[in-house]
Structure 1
Amino acid sequence: MALNKSALKSEIVSIMTDMLTRETNSVDEFATRLSNAIDTYVKGADIIYTAGLIDAEARPVTGTFEGDLE
């Protein structure tokens, strides 16, 4: 899945709107929620490998990254 900037923006707006309606501030809660939104956004990235490595027969290696970002 490609990065979804509009979904990240919507999540940030939602977090900000919720935090602004509260009577008491929680910087820690805001930071946690924002960092979770950014973490979700970054982990939604597709990594397409196109060049740089070669196989045992000197042919270029290409393909789609299969794994997790941690």
Structure 2
Amino acid sequence: MALNKSGLEGSIKALLKEEKEKTDNASSIDNLAAKVATAIEAFVKSGTVTTTVTTTGSASAQTGTGTGSIS
């Protein structure tokens, strides 16, 4: 699954609208930071990691490295 940028934008807009209605500014900053962090975490986890792994060794003892990308 590709990264869901529109979902991230929607989450950020929703939390900004919610915080805009509040009157307690001190807790608003903490709430905003926590909600943005949660939205970013969900965005990053929504991506697909594609990796190519190259291995060496026998059938019972493998070693190797991988490279890939998030899409």
TM-score exceeds 0.5: yes
Q: TM-score, normalised by structure 2?
A: 0.68
**Higher RCO (CA-CA < 8 Å; seq separation 6+):** 2
* Deviation digits for residues 12-31 of structure 1 (CA, Å, limit 9, x no counterpart): 00000110111112211110
Compare CA radii of gyration and give the structure with the larger one: 2
Residue 12 (structure 2) aligns with? 12
TM-score (norm 1): 0.69
Percent of pairs with identical residues? 31
Greater share of helix residues, 1 or 2?
2
Runs of 4+ aligned residues of structure 1 deviating over 4 Å after TM superposition are: none
Looking at structure 1, the residues matched to 17 and 52 of structure 2 have their Cα atoms a distance apart, in angstroms, of 41
Name stretches of at least 5 consecutive residues in structure 1 with no aligned partner: 57-70
Q: How many residue pairs end up in the alignment?
A: 58
Tell me, which stretches of 5 or more residues in structure 2 are unaligned? 58-71
Which has the larger share of strand?
2
Aligned to 1:28: 30
- RMSD in angstroms over aligned alpha carbons? 2.2
